[in-house]
Structure 1
């Protein structure tokens, strides 16, 4: 019974307290690409641990002293079926969340692209850019196969040419790297977990990290100073549903740009290595220390 208990505790820890603790730490944000891998590893390990706990517990209930029990008690059979059903619910719920979130965001983005095509003006030079007749400075992108970059008249009036280049580079970085797929995956996993076990930390942190990744691409293309000035002028106005754009992390993003410029782009290498090492340990540790021995024992028992 040790394996099911340990896997269950690991799954619960990775679902809530560990993400909450990691979200309060600053060092992963210095290596956003590696930090996203770490968050993905935590989510994958949590699901694998819960599924493994259900399967191992169900097997333990009908096995006695390493040998399949030919006549298990009724309560053992009932709990065996319950654990198998619970495991199936976890798998089906996760798959359904992936499918439903994918369909919802695809429909939302399709409607939004249609709307900006109707009310926005096409940029004469940049064919994928739509200009909205709004005084408020806005800039965001609508991902998808037929993507759009949306800017407002207020943004065009307030941004200098090099600042506008930085903003467009930032939005195109989102589209080129398909950051929307990363955010959508975490949105689906967030929905898959029961409300009592659900933590917002992974989803919120991932949204911040993809903004930092896009900042890195824009900084390399347009420079640190134009990007920082553009961020200040655009402020923290949220993007519409389904789009990628500014978040409420302006101070963090400005401070990171200053730190990157001061450290001559060397900052974050140690943090990246730490993220990859922790990610590997989170996924491979329970697998090789608990799951593999249990699978080997189960195979020997049932053979």
Structure 2
């Protein structure tokens, strides 16, 4: 029974539960806790699926003369577990290499086409590049050693000094906190499951929540009014693949600025969900199964 229960938990946490939570807006009130909640759901789904595969393997080698239908069912569960782990490690390799290649190309283009602005660079640092383009655009290309923050000349012309400061602090927050690694982790976990067993909700909501975290950093430095003006000015602007841009999720970001209350209970609920999905399956299913596995292997 343990393999099937763990398998059902893994499927539930990979598709229906995230699909239901995707309709909720309360995690946006506490984005840090919201990201932890989504990470816990994704990790619990992987662990449950893996546990189902291990429990199935133990059953197949320890059960004496099992019925054919039970063997077939257990083999199916085992194959799903093997498939998920194989896809996960494949995704770790391919997604990381593809994203790094995109960012290298973008950094090369930015360094060729854009120039540092002496006045702004004195405040932000040498990673700033100004792209000659009339549309207001701002984004960053995070990296361990070669990050770039890019703003267009149109953004510098359209934004006030305070709004520009908010934009630069927003992008600098992405770079310093390495929000790109958070999103890449969700891409790995998303790719682990076949399309019919997954939802894009964890990745999509986490993209919004890293923007909210960067907004928090910008608001502390430049103030709410400047941040609101910058969000409106850059709303809808695009960023190249692999970059984190300031023009995304403008409506949700403005809603949170207008009504920032409720963060404490949202954080509490998110942390409670994180603990439940990680601890309950472990205590009630994984620990008894491990004890049984030790008995079988030693007996």
Is this a same-fold pair by TM over 0.5?
Answer: yes
**How far does residue 26 in structure 1 lie from its aligned partner after superposition?**
1.4
Cα pair distance change 1:270/1:77, threshold 3 Å = closer
In the comparison of the two structures, how many residue pairs are matched? 292
Provide the residue aligned with 1:280 in structure 2. Answer: 275
Structure 1 CA distance for aligned equivalents of residues 191 and 247 of structure 2:
21
Matches within 5 A, 1:1-303: 2-64=1-63, 69=64, 83-125=77-119, 126=121, 127-144=126-143, 145-246=145-246, 248-260=248-260, 263=261, 267-303=262-298
CA 1:174–1:38 in 2, change beyond 3 Å: closer, same or farther? Answer: same
Query: Which runs of 5 or more residues in structure 2 are unaligned?
Result: none
Where in structure 1 are there 5+ consecutive unaligned residues?
none
Q: What is the alpha-carbon distance in structure 1 between the residues aligned to residue 191 and residue 28 of structure 2? A: 24
Q: TM-score, with normalisation over the residues of structure 2?
A: 0.92
Q: Does structure 2 conserve the Cα–Cα contact (< 8 Å) formed by 1:170 and 1:215?
A: yes
> Are the aligned partners of 2:167 and 2:246 in contact in 1 as well (CA < 8 Å)?
no
SS at match of 1:122: coil
Distance 2:188 2:297 in 1: 36
Q: Secondary structure at the match of 1:59?
A: helix
C-alpha distance in 1 between matches for 2:138 and 2:49: 41
Other structure's SS at 1:121 match? coil
1:271-297 Cα offsets, whole Å, 9 max, x none, are 112111110110111011101101101
Deviation at 1:36, TM superposition (A): 0.3
Q: Is the 8 Å Cα contact of residues 85 and 192 (structure 2) preserved in structure 1?
A: no
Contact preservation (8 Å) 2:173, 2:214: yes
CA gap 1:222/1:130 in 2 versus in 1, 3 angstroms: same
Query: Matched residues in 2 for 1:86 and 1:256: separation?
Result: 40
Question: Does the aligned pair in 2 maintain the 1:58–1:79 contact within 8 Å?
Answer: no
